[in-house]
Structure 1
Amino acid sequence: MKISFLIHTIYGIGGTIRSTLNLAEELVGRHEVEIVSVFRHRDVPLFPVDPRITLIGLVDTRPGSPDGSSDGSSDGSSDGSSDGSSDGSSDGSSDGSAEGEPGGGTAHREPSALMPRHENRYREYSALTDERIHAHYAASDADVVIATRPALVPCLARSAPQNAVLVGQENMSLGYHGPELVEELLPGLDVLDALVTVSEADAAAWRARLPQPDTRVVAVPNGVPEPTLAPAALRERTVVAAGRISREKQYDTLLVAFARVVAAHPDWRLRLYGWGPDRERVRRVVHRLGLHNSVELMGAVVPMEAEWVKGSIAVSTSRHESFGLTLVEAMRCGLPVISTDCDHGPRTIVTDGEDGLLVPVGDSGAVADALLRLIQDEPLRRRLGGAARTAARRFDPAGTAKAYEELFAELGAGPLHRTGPDAAAVSRTRPFAPVADCGTGDDGSVTVRIVTPAAAAMQYPGLRLVCTRADTGGGTDSGTGPAKGRTRTGGRKGAKGGSRPRGRTATAPDRTEHVFPFAPDGTAVVPPGAGLADGLWLCHTEDPRTGRRAELTARTVDQRGVLRAGERFTRDTAVRHLVPFRDPAGHRLTLRSWVRRLHVESGDITLDEHRFTLTGRIHGPVEPAGEPTLVLRRGGDPADEMVFHGTREGTRGFAVTFDGEAVAERREREDEQWELWLRYSPEQDPVAVGRLLDDVLRKSDVRGFPEVLLHKQRSLLLARRVLRRIRGQDQRLVVLKLAFDDGNRLVLHVRDR
């Protein structure tokens, strides 16, 4: 069959996007599959897509595109799942505005005649989207057309091929929609051959409401593929939650519960993944509860499986889940899960006491009790995690695809099986475009394994991994010591000739490339002593027979080996920290290398009124002695600094308290920045305080600190404050706030409010 999915967007992040791709990638081995995305706001989807699937964007809102509009229309950056199934509604992308009229003339300014007016995405649709959807499907030869949300069904009613089977999907639930939207939707659903929900409870609700009794309503759970990396080792003291940062996820409940956990187990951390409209409010709750050292807001990450395996417990506190895709993802990665027993999905996924724990909705005490139970009982945690991995296999996409295929056949769509595009044939007709998995070792090594095309190292004898310097970095050391593999310092001989000068790894000051051979099994190892200088390194493959190179696309990147980087450095060891990651813009495998001869790693920071207490540890080949001192430098100027004395904790640890009022009194401008440095021994030059030794590339995006508010020191201050209060005017304040800068160094912002 030819199967066509119509989706709001395939280029963002959300539960509908994930479930659509999981199903499409299972079907494409036997059928021709296309995904029609109403909106396209970026060049490449955030999720990897099987190359056998055809992607079609109807309205291109990328900057500079013919369809770019100047009316503030949406960029379609999420799948529009407003029930919390989305992992994030916005990635900060542009709305694609461009000068002049879009390719559709003025149609983008006219309202849609097909999209239900009470649909939460109504304003993003227009006469232009109506035209593009109609034009595509009026010429389509699809055997099956799937509308991935009920509100898209009216858009297909007059456009779908006459003999095609028309299927609607409900990835939310009937009970979540407002009554006005339901009344709009019901009459238009009579064109459907079938409506598919993700739970039997929701299917029953739809059957009771549909005015057309002959419309088939069936429940097919979403499919989640087996992870491509090893399951969670359950050794990290980390709790993971993922989903849209919005009210229905009830993160307040989780944070109040986690405050109890931290009081008993201060070494445990909570990571929240996702974007959404409630992000800043959630951060304020984190600060109000004093959890800034214990909770990280990680943003939206794709794919999530590489993040689940970093945790030891998964948790969901939603008040509503149509299915619970993140629960299944976590279980497939071997995590025990704690979930609220909300409608509809969790109770069909989690068996309480066997593969997870169910708790009442909105009960922070019950959530805390469940977390403490799993934290304090490691055998139970491991037993539930193993059972969760086994139980979640029933949600494999193969079963989901089979249910859909049988439904299509029953509805007369065509043969149950028809040969789809052959993966090997597709690979042969495409340029060499390698895809790799990447892993990290506890010793700091990075292993790259090519997964597509299969047996690439055998097809291309002598294939090499080439790491190319992408920037000049920000470090002070280029590193010493030989690397396993060759290092280049200049140009290379390409397909059209050219020189290829070579340099010695240990001494070349301007190294720009490192080369590592692929073994016959398709793996290449970047050892911890490879000597990659501070900065970004782009990964390619190179065929030595031709000199041709190809960008290396990352499928998954397992960063677990870098989580405890600080533990592997001895007192005689300089800091070399190598973190591989998947570039979200193009999925390219990239390495971030940090090299420091000396480094001061920031630890927990506590606030007591206007006093800040900073803890940390010195790394590098030095012997700290005497009293450590914290040096604050205005604008980084060594001639303009304040010094605060601290105490040593062990051989290399320290704690220093500094007074925010004292810093505020030194202000010379309305907005100042003070850099934090540590003098680890008397008479030694101070070292910048920062945070490098984990898996987070930009700490400022993830870690935040509460503001400290002080009244401006002015003459007659008390009288001025009383007068401003009587007049209803805001008080004149000085705001002090610690933050990480773009180089992950710790700075103190001091500004007027």
Structure 2
Amino acid sequence: MKVSFLIHTVYGIGGTIRTTVNLAEELAGRHEVEIVSVFRHRDEPLFAIDPRITVVPLVDTRPSSPGNETKHPLALEPSECVPPHEARFAEYSRLTDGRVREHYAVSGADVVIGTRPGLVAYVARCAPARAVLIGQEHMTHHHHSPELRSELRPHLAALDAFVTVSEGDAAVWRERMPLPGTRVLAIPNSVPEPVVPVSDLGGTTVVAAGRLAAEKQYDVLIEAFARVVAVRPEWTLRICGWGRQKERLRRRIDELGLHNHVHLMGPRSPIEPEWVKGAIAVSTSRHESFGMTLVEAMRCGLPVVSTDCDYGPREIVADGVDGLLVPVGDRGAVAAALLRLIDDEPLRRRMGAAARSHAARFDPGPVAKRYEELFAVLGAGTRTRTHPAATAPATTGNGEPAPGPLVDCTAEADGAVTVALLGEPRGRAGLVCSHPGAAVPDRVFPFGPSGRAVIPADAGLAEGVWTCRIDPPAAGAADAAKGAAPARARLAVRAVDQRGAMRAAERVRPGEPVHTLVPYVRHGGLALRSWVRPVHAESGGITVGSRRITVCGRLLGQARPVGDPVLLLLRRGADAGELEFPGTRVGADGFRCAIPLAAPVAVQASGHDVWDLWLRHAPGAAPVRIGRVLDDVVEKGGVFSYPAVDLLRKRPFARIRAAVDRLRLREPDRVTVKIFFSAGSELVLKVIDKAMK
């Protein structure tokens, strides 16, 4: 039979998109499956989509697309089908009404599934008359306003089934909105087996994931983690996701002085390689319709700490067995639960093993079977056609030309990088790594019989970004006769397991150069970031105060510290300058240096001074750049963020001038000082004029 999923957009990232793709992929092995995406706002989906699935975008909203339809006359008129109290009502229009109606007039679908309230209305009004009509509830009854629920009633009554993701929510719908002709039942979301090995639970990282939205209560998590850090300062928290709360959460992190311990990682897809870097997963949501991230983490072998909110977590987590449930909004309880798992490694490992075992019930196979049983009960594929099936305009997969071969990539514990071909015919000549430097030759690493190529840790790849491509199979006789050389294809990536890069500092040996390779996805393809340095000053904790910034770290490589270090600030540009600040040696190779912020402000040469940080580790020695390269984060700017400091510019009669400015309701003459990591992961200090009002 043909199954059609109607979704707001399949080109973004989020729980509804993820679970729709999971279910569609499982059904695609036995049925014809399409995902109809009302909007297309980027070229390719962020989630990889099985090529057996047909993706049908209806309205192009890509900003740079020649076919952008945001100014289409019908796009400026409100929808006549979507309920006015739908949260995304403003995004729907008479254009979307028409496109949905046109698609289903020719789709020939046997089952049509709507994935949010407005799309349920479309299913009820626009799906083929012969099709089984199903609505999915990815939020909860209580999440929707009374007005929206009232508007939805006639549309829900027109469905054959309405599926929630938790038994608790299904019971509420049955009680509060009886629908005599519509089956109301619960089928959980599905989460496949991770494509990377599960966590070894041996690290010191707690991971959370989800939209940076108020209902996730990340402020509760951050404040709870402050209590954890007070006891276990070696632990860090990573929050993966994006959303409107980012700047608010960043400010709270800065207020609590947690910038060395709590990192906003941004969106990550796929998410499994991030979960397996952790030892514990945590969720502090105010409410959850299901708890997709909990299942994802558990499938990766992590024990979880979760608030006991309605409805999903208590149906997913067995308290005390595979995780710990705590009251909603209770910072102390969250901190206590995290510390319990941090301090009791045997308990953490027992719960992690149980989590992996128990979460298998959410595998797409059993979940898809429940949907297929529902389809059969409702008579899918047996109803009389009211019109002949036709072929709708569609794209296969992501709608773009087929990418290069699909690979998995792993940063190994010994520093090597392994690239494994997935389902690719053998006979590939090799993995080709290219450096942008004209004088740096390509490096080729052969694929073995198992389809794996290994880049040794000591391969000597020059510092910089290496783009990975693949030699095509040997040309046939016809191609050879034409003298054609097949192009090298970029590698499409299923997953990059970066855990080995997190242990790079442990592999550094005294007296040896510092080198590390970090694989990552860049511009949609596989890339390697290589760092190779005879001597390197690795940044550690950075403390930002109102008057000074203190930088700690270690000197590594082919040099040993002699005496106390000196930190140098070297100003870029035509107004080159140099400032020196004596530091303190810590242990055999550590350093701690403080920068009094008044010093670079006092010699400010422009409205935007940029200073590079260097370390002189011995009298007369050449200075060494201070940076952070021995971890798994290639692009550090948005992850390792430090608070800015505002200072009053030092001028004659500065205090009197500031008082006069206040009387005149003008901003005093101030500057902002901020430390950050450059694109090359090296420390930089900026001194910038604040705009005068």
TM norm structure 2: 0.92
Q: Determine the C-alpha separation between the residues in 2 that align with 1:289 and 1:28.
A: 49
Cα distance change on mapping 1:386 and 1:636 into 2, 3 Å:
farther
Q: Is the 8 A contact 2:86 2:117 kept in 1?
A: no
2:267 equivalent in structure 1: 300
1:495 equivalent in structure 2: none
1:714 equivalent in structure 2: 651
Q: What amino acid does structure 2 have at the position aligned with 1:179?
A: P
1:467 equivalent in structure 2: 432
The answer to whether 1:349 aligns with 2:316 is yes
2:642 equivalent in structure 1: 705
2:115 equivalent in structure 1: 148
Question: SS at the partner of 1:176?
Answer: coil
Q: What amino acid does structure 2 have at the position aligned with 1:686?
A: P
Q: What amino acid does structure 2 have at the position aligned with 1:393?
A: A
Which of 578, 584, 590 is the equivalent residue of 1:647? 584
Cα deviations by residue, 1:259-293 (Å, 9 ceiling, x for unpaired): 11111111111001000000011000000000001
1:396 equivalent in structure 2: 363
Which of 245, 254, 278 is the equivalent residue of 1:287? 254
1:523 equivalent in structure 2: 452
1:440 equivalent in structure 2: 411
Cα distance change on mapping 1:433 and 1:725 into 2, 3 Å:
closer
Q: Determine the C-alpha separation between the residues in 2 that align with 1:470 and 1:342.
A: 50
Q: Determine the C-alpha separation between the residues in 2 that align with 1:511 and 1:635.
A: 27
360-369 or 608-617: bigger deviation:
608-617
Cα deviations by residue, 1:625-662 (Å, 9 ceiling, x for unpaired): 12210001122679511000011112321111121112
Cα deviations by residue, 1:410-445 (Å, 9 ceiling, x for unpaired): 0000389xxxxxxxxx9xxx9895222111212210
Deviation at 1:336, TM superposition (A): 0.6
Q: What amino acid does structure 1 have at the position aligned with 2:38?
A: V
Q: Determine the C-alpha separation between the residues in 2 that align with 1:406 and 1:18.
A: 22
The answer to whether 1:622 aligns with 2:551 is no
Q: Determine the C-alpha separation between the residues in 1 that align with 2:299 and 2:382.
A: 32
Q: Determine the C-alpha separation between the residues in 1 that align with 2:529 and 2:382.
A: 50
Q: What amino acid does structure 1 have at the position aligned with 2:361?
A: R
The answer to whether 1:605 aligns with 2:576 is no
Which of 128, 146, 149 is the equivalent residue of 1:179? 146
Q: Determine the C-alpha separation between the residues in 1 that align with 2:64 and 2:489.
A: 28
Deviation at 1:470, TM superposition (A): 4.9
Q: Determine the C-alpha separation between the residues in 2 that align with 1:65 and 1:622.
A: 53
Determine what percentage of the aligned residue pairs are the same residue. Answer: 55
612-621 or 529-538: bigger deviation:
529-538
Cα deviations by residue, 1:230-253 (Å, 9 ceiling, x for unpaired): 110111100000010111111111
Cα deviations by residue, 1:547-594 (Å, 9 ceiling, x for unpaired): 6443322111111101011221212222221111133x53x2222222
Deviation at 1:715, TM superposition (A): 3.4
Deviation at 1:710, TM superposition (A): 1.9
2:603 equivalent in structure 1: 666
568-577 or 551-560: bigger deviation:
568-577
Question: SS at the partner of 1:240?
Answer: strand
Question: SS at the partner of 2:86?
Answer: coil
Question: SS at the partner of 1:158?
Answer: helix
Q: Is the 8 A contact 1:409 1:415 kept in 2?
A: no
Q: Is the 8 A contact 2:461 2:530 kept in 1?
A: yes
Cα distance change on mapping 1:551 and 1:713 into 2, 3 Å:
closer
Cα deviations by residue, 1:700-751 (Å, 9 ceiling, x for unpaired): 1111111222222233333444444455443432221111122221111112
Which of 498, 523, 529 is the equivalent residue of 1:559? 498
Question: SS at the partner of 1:175?
Answer: coil
Deviation at 1:108, TM superposition (A): 1.4
Q: Is the 8 A contact 2:113 2:123 kept in 1?
A: no
Q: Determine the C-alpha separation between the residues in 1 that align with 2:298 and 2:582.
A: 48
Q: Is the 8 A contact 1:374 1:380 kept in 2?
A: yes
Q: Determine the C-alpha separation between the residues in 1 that align with 2:574 and 2:261.
A: 32
Question: SS at the partner of 1:145?
Answer: strand
1:451 equivalent in structure 2: 422
Q: Where does 1:22-37 land on structure 2 (aligned, <5 Å)? A: 22-37=22-37
What RMSD over aligned residues (CA atoms) do the two structures have, in Å?
A: 2.0
Q: Is the 8 A contact 1:613 1:656 kept in 2?
A: yes
Q: What amino acid does structure 2 have at the position aligned with 1:6?
A: L
Question: SS at the partner of 2:274?
Answer: helix
Deviation at 1:138, TM superposition (A): 0.9
Q: Determine the C-alpha separation between the residues in 2 that align with 1:688 and 1:636.
A: 17
1:242 equivalent in structure 2: 209
Q: Determine the C-alpha separation between the residues in 1 that align with 2:213 and 2:124.
A: 33
Deviation at 1:64, TM superposition (A): 4.2
Question: SS at the partner of 2:538?
Answer: strand
Deviation at 1:129, TM superposition (A): 1.0
Q: Determine the C-alpha separation between the residues in 1 that align with 2:64 and 2:253.
A: 39
1:320 equivalent in structure 2: 287
Q: What amino acid does structure 1 have at the position aligned with 2:649?
A: K
Q: What amino acid does structure 1 have at the position aligned with 2:312?
A: G
1:687 equivalent in structure 2: 624
Q: What amino acid does structure 2 have at the position aligned with 1:581?
A: Y
2:388 equivalent in structure 1: none
1:361 equivalent in structure 2: 328
Q: Is the 8 A contact 2:511 2:557 kept in 1?
A: yes
Q: Is the 8 A contact 1:355 1:388 kept in 2?
A: yes
Q: Determine the C-alpha separation between the residues in 2 that align with 1:550 and 1:752.
A: 47
Q: What amino acid does structure 2 have at the position aligned with 1:658?
A: I
Question: SS at the partner of 1:700?
Answer: coil
Cα distance change on mapping 1:537 and 1:511 into 2, 3 Å:
same
Q: Determine the C-alpha separation between the residues in 2 that align with 1:64 and 1:645.
A: 51
Q: Determine the C-alpha separation between the residues in 2 that align with 1:519 and 1:638.
A: 54
Deviation at 1:615, TM superposition (A): 0.6
Cα distance change on mapping 1:289 and 1:110 into 2, 3 Å:
same
